Chain A
Amino acid sequence: MIAAAGQALWSHWRRNPLQLFTLVAGLALATALWSGVQALNAQARMSYDAAAALLGEGRFDQLVPRSGDTMPQDAFVRLRRAGWLVGPVIEGRLDAGDAPVRLVGIDPLTAPGGAGPITQAGEAPLQSFLSERVVFAHPDIAEALARSVTQRVVADPGLAPGTAVTDIGVAQSLLDRPGEISRLMLAESQPRDRPALDEIAPDLVLRPSQQSSDIGQLTGSFHLNLTAFGLLSFAVGIFIVHGAIGLAFEQRRGMVRTLRSLGVPLRYLVGVMAAELAVIALIAGGLGVVLGYLLAAALLPDVAATLEGLYGAQVSGALSLAPSWWLSGLGIALAGTGLAASGAFWRIARMPALANSDARAWSMAAGKRHGLQAVAGAALFGLSGGLVWLGTGLIAGFAGVACLLFGAALVFPLVLDRALSMAERRASTVRWEWFWADTRQQVPGLSLALMALLLAMAANIGVSTMVSSFRLTFTGFLDQRLTAGLYVATDDAAQAEAFLAFVEPRVDGVLPLLSTGTRLAGQKAEILGLRVGPAYRDNWTFIAEDGAVWDRVAAGEAVIINEQMARRADLWPGDRLTLVPGREMPIAAVVSDYGNPSGQAVIGEALFEALFPETRATRFGLRTQTPDELREALIDAGIVEEGQITDQSVLKAFSMGVFERTFTVTAALNVLTLSVAGFAILMSLLTLAGMRIPQLAPARALGLTRRELGRLELWRAVILAALTLVVAVPLGLALAWMLLAIINVEAFGWRLPMFLFPVDYAVLGALALCAAMAAAAWPALRLARTPPSHLLKVFAHEG
């Protein structure tokens, strides 16, 4: 019995291959976009975990300098003598050809168990560490590093990308930082009678393990962003699946009724249909997972560049995924199918054995649901507003965005129905009156595809507005920050002195670039020392200030902080900031600092030199009207080499390049989501075309030619897409505002001004109309070519 019933049910798909294709393709696309994003996240997290495992981050408490970024090795010796079980770590950047290497030095004898490559690098690395002075490096940099250092380099895939590990003595020598330590890792169990930290090393502070995974915290927001986009794409795909399943189930109502009347119990039928969908979901899910893998592999280099550019996080460029990822892809395909089919199953399970089997009754009945949908949509709008005004955190921000989008999608069919109803009332001819009424009748069958299109277009408008606003702001920001014509990096203080003596008479101004890494207000931060002058006074604009900013900064009486620090630490003009122990200063202004993951404090040059006398400026900006001549003069005089000079335009181009790469992933997902929605429209129109004959036959009988009917079908798709665009623009702008004013602030720590780009929206609208026309062309052509005999059959069956 089950075999016979299964064969009958399956025969529907055999006779309707387009419907099956829609279902499989929709599900595969949805799964691909979701699992692709998950693959990117999983790969990035794997890299963070490797880095954290290496450095003991997240697992061990650490002792870090109260200010500055290093401590003397004496502190380690004092603590060990006092009974503290600590292991020293030094960390720094090393140039190995084109690739910067993060070099980490540890002491394998005192490192807490499990830290470092001791458990990862294979056989007897301890001996290699101690006697052979081996450097263990991630395979992606091992070769380049081997050419740059005299030590033996061993590739170890267990290390984080871009990272090398060696004995601390070797690392101090390679980094040219003898006797310095970045931090101390604490073993989990410590002697109880050890003296207090303040007595032994008052300049150090304890950083508990749970607070130390800075990269994980910083990048969490980026991954949440990606996940949200993946979820949106998945939702758009599931709209297609829902539509395909709903239509297939409704078209099989008659078959279900017949099977029941022939003696197949309802629960068997539901079971067979569920098994059938599960098989389809697994096949489509499998396809989707493979597509997702390919998508992730294609996007990974850009994601890695984004994470490096925005957060300084290293992510391996090669994709390696655990079996759990593949399984979760299939799981989401099954879950999505279950969700999309739940309503259809509910209706089938409740259908009486003698129910009406007319499939078109379904699309007509769908209209009755519009009212309920609109109420649910209005509730979601309210929830979205509540989350925007009262919620805090990134999750609340995304939940607000989700409520806004899905609320709009739910209200949309009612809006369409009302708009078409109004057009019907104002129609000047009978033909147009029929057209509008007929279009209105099509809305229930097309509403899912149109909702998907609305979401995709709104997301496109919202995200492109955000990216374009960001681009505009970022370009202005670069103009503001990169005021010097040339930037020169000298090798050391001696070269810097000779350089200054040469350039000072030849330029309008020299801008020494003084900086030091530290922690401010509990955050990783940088202190900049600026020579206050017109370069800064004329160009910098502040988000908030309390007057005479530059005069006070120049006098060493106040500090400027960047927006990231202001928002994260809730510090604003008038508040005070401790720069170094015992030196607290008022905040005079807050400045935008796009693209920088860290907090920043800006002080005057004199104060910087007083606070950090050991830090000398080796990098300089030069204000000149003739940058090319100055560059030649510097090289000809042998003051610096060509590679030490960077043109302002090159720096700007580089920064814009990083910026554009940052949004490549977003743009790719955006285009894919829009494509999926276009596909949904095409499939809906094709599927509905088969059901249109009984509705169009009377129109033909009343005097419309098949060609006219085909043309009207084309117009219908364009008009519906245009109406969707009309709703998508304000929705997209609302989304853009939420992304800029809420999500960005929570995710990156800065708020961007919002600009409008009407030309972009017009282009998107034209594209959407073209896509709708292209999607409608095939069904319209099929209709125009429908043999008159098919149209006549409608009347032949009557009576």
Chain B
Amino acid sequence: MLLQIDTLTKSYAGPDGPTEVLRGVSLSLEAGETLALTGESGSGKSTLLHLVGGLDTADGGSIRLDGQEVTRLDDSGRAALRRGTVGVVFQQFNLIPSLSVAANISFQARLAGRADQARADRLADALGLSAHLAKYPEQLSGGQQQRVAIARTLAARPRLVLADEPTGNLDETTAAVVIEEMLALVHETGAALMMVTHSPALAARAGRRLHLRQGRLE
């Protein structure tokens, strides 16, 4: 089992007292499996993704990822988890604006100590970025930027890819192409994918679908 989540809870302080975002979520994910998380805005999808990726800390419950108890890791431990085990694809791409496309693609692999130029080149080629390697992110379209973000994540060979609304900033046609490419590459690398999306069409492409409503899985 790559990922095992048990009775995970999380709440945020609000003006009217704490708001419970996750109310005892439990799920598991095997290596190579793809999972789509759907739900209304505010249902806790992104929060769940952030907790799994160690970007935020849970109030209760447990997250066991690749043999490590994520909820017990300190800041450095969570950073190491994000570097070595997890790869995150964001809705806003989050590329480094002052690095070229080529440098962005190989960046996370270098951080993880797994730099592999041949693999980075293959991914760039597969995602149609070869002609844009010397450009900077601001010179690319939204779809191209998201392809760079996907290439960056997969070049680092993560065990688990977390994708937070990966096509939320793209038009429908581009989104379909990008998600197709991402799923193919994730499958090829043998990584697991946990993807948050509003789109039923996109969710349908995943191997498994779960729906979150008011902090609970249905």
Contacts and interface: CB of A to CB of B under 8 A. Distances in A.
A265 interface: yes
Given A265-B76, A354-B55, A257 B94 contact: yes
Contact of A353 (B55, B80, B97, B112): B55
Nearest to B153: A262
A8 B82 contact: no
A737 to B, nearest CB: 50
Contacts of B80: 263, 265
A352 to B, nearest CB: 8
A100 interface: no
B56 A354 contact: yes
A263 B112 contact: yes
Nearest to B110: A4
Contacts of A8: 96, 98-99, 107
A14 interface: yes
Interface string A1-45: 101110110011011100000000000000000000000000000
A249 to B, nearest CB: 14
Contacts of A267: 76
A264 B83 contact: yes
Contact of B94 (A4, A7, A258, A263): A258
Contacts of B110: 1, 3-4
Interface string A250-264: 000011011111111
B5 interface: no
A255 B112 contact: no
B83 A1 contact: yes
A260 B55 CA distance: 8
A150 to B, nearest CB: 76
A261 B158 CA distance: 14
A78 to B, nearest CB: 83
B32 to A, nearest CB: 22
B71 interface: no
Most A-side CB within 10 Å, residue of B53, B84, B108:
B108
A367 to B, nearest CB: 23
A265 B98 contact: no
A263 B84 contact: yes
Nearest to A11: B98
Contacts of B23: none
B96 A264 contact: no
Given A4-B110, A354-B50, A11 B96 contact: yes
A257 B107 CA distance: 15
B75 A266 contact: yes
B101 interface: no
Q: Which of A3, A353, A354 has the most CB of B within 10 A?
A: A353
Q: Which bracket fits the contact residues of A?
A: 20 to 34
B210 interface: no
Contact of B111 (A5, A257, A354): A5
Interface string A263-275: 1111100000000
A7 B112 CA distance: 15
Among B55, B79, B103, B108, residue most surrounded by chain A Cβ atoms (within 10 Å): B79
A263 B82 contact: yes
Contacts of A254: 94, 97
Q: DSSP class of A's interface residues: helix, strand, loop or mixed?
A: helix
A263 B83 CA distance: 4
Contacts of B107: 4, 8, 262
A676 B88 CA distance: 46
B207 interface: no
Contacts of B123: none
From A1, A5, A264, residue with most partner B Cβ within 10 Å:
A1
B90 A12 contact: no
B45 to A, nearest CB: 14
B113 interface: yes
Contacts of B22: none
A263 B96 contact: no
Interface string A46-70: 0000000000000000000000000
A5 B107 CA distance: 9
Contacts of B111: 1, 4-5, 262-264
Given A4-B107, A8-B98, A261 B90 contact: yes
Contact of B97 (A15, A259, A354): A15
**Contact-residue size bin, chain B (C-beta under 8 Å from the other chain):** 20 to 34
A11 B107 CA distance: 13
B144 to A, nearest CB: 14
A257 B95 CA distance: 10
B81 interface: yes
A255 B55 contact: no
A263 B99 contact: no
Contacts of A12: 98
B79 A264 contact: yes
A454 to B, nearest CB: 34
Contacts of A255: 96-98
Contact of A262 (B56, B108, B136): B108
A354 B46 CA distance: 11
A261 B88 contact: yes
B106 to A, nearest CB: 9
Nearest to A257: B94
A261 B54 CA distance: 9
Interface string B64-81: 000000000001100111
B97 to A, nearest CB: 7
Contacts of B136: 15
B82 A261 contact: yes
Contacts of A11: 96, 98-99, 103
A264 B112 CA distance: 10
Interface in B87-136: 88, 90, 94-99, 103, 107-108, 110-113, 136
Given A4-B107, A353-B55, A354-B55, A260 B98 contact: no
A501 to B, nearest CB: 91
A267 to B, nearest CB: 8
A277 to B, nearest CB: 17
A267 B77 CA distance: 12
Contact of A261 (B55, B75, B76, B103): B55
B160 to A, nearest CB: 13
Contacts of B90: 261
A254 B79 CA distance: 17
B96 A260 contact: no
B75 A265 contact: yes
Contacts of B55: 261, 353-354
Contacts of A14: 98
A354 B82 CA distance: 14
Given A1-B111, A5-B111, A262 B98 contact: no
B154 to A, nearest CB: 13
Interface in B48-62: 50, 53, 55-56
A257 B83 CA distance: 14
Nearest to A265: B79
A755 to B, nearest CB: 55
Nearest to B74: A265
Given A8-B107, A11-B96, A1 B113 contact: yes
A15 B79 CA distance: 27
B196 to A, nearest CB: 14
Interface string A343-373: 0000000000110000000000000000000
Given A11-B96, A354-B50, 19 more contacts: A1-B111, A1-B113, A4-B107, A5-B111, A8-B98, A11-B103, A15-B97, A254-B97, A261-B53, A261-B55, A261-B94, A262-B107, A262-B108, A263-B112, A264-B111, A265-B75, A265-B79, A353-B55, A353-B56
26 contacts: A3-B110, A4-B107, A5-B111, A7-B99, A8-B107, A14-B98, A15-B98, A15-B136, A16-B98, A254-B97, A255-B97, A255-B98, A258-B94, A261-B82, A261-B88, A262-B82, A263-B81, A263-B82, A263-B108, A263-B111, A263-B112, A264-B79, A265-B75, A265-B76, A266-B79, A353-B55
Interface of B: 50, 53, 55-56, 75-76, 79-84, 88, 90, 94-99, 103, 107-108, 110-113, 136
The 3 A-B pairs with the shortest beta carbon distances in the complex, nearest first, are A263-B83, A263-B82, A11-B98
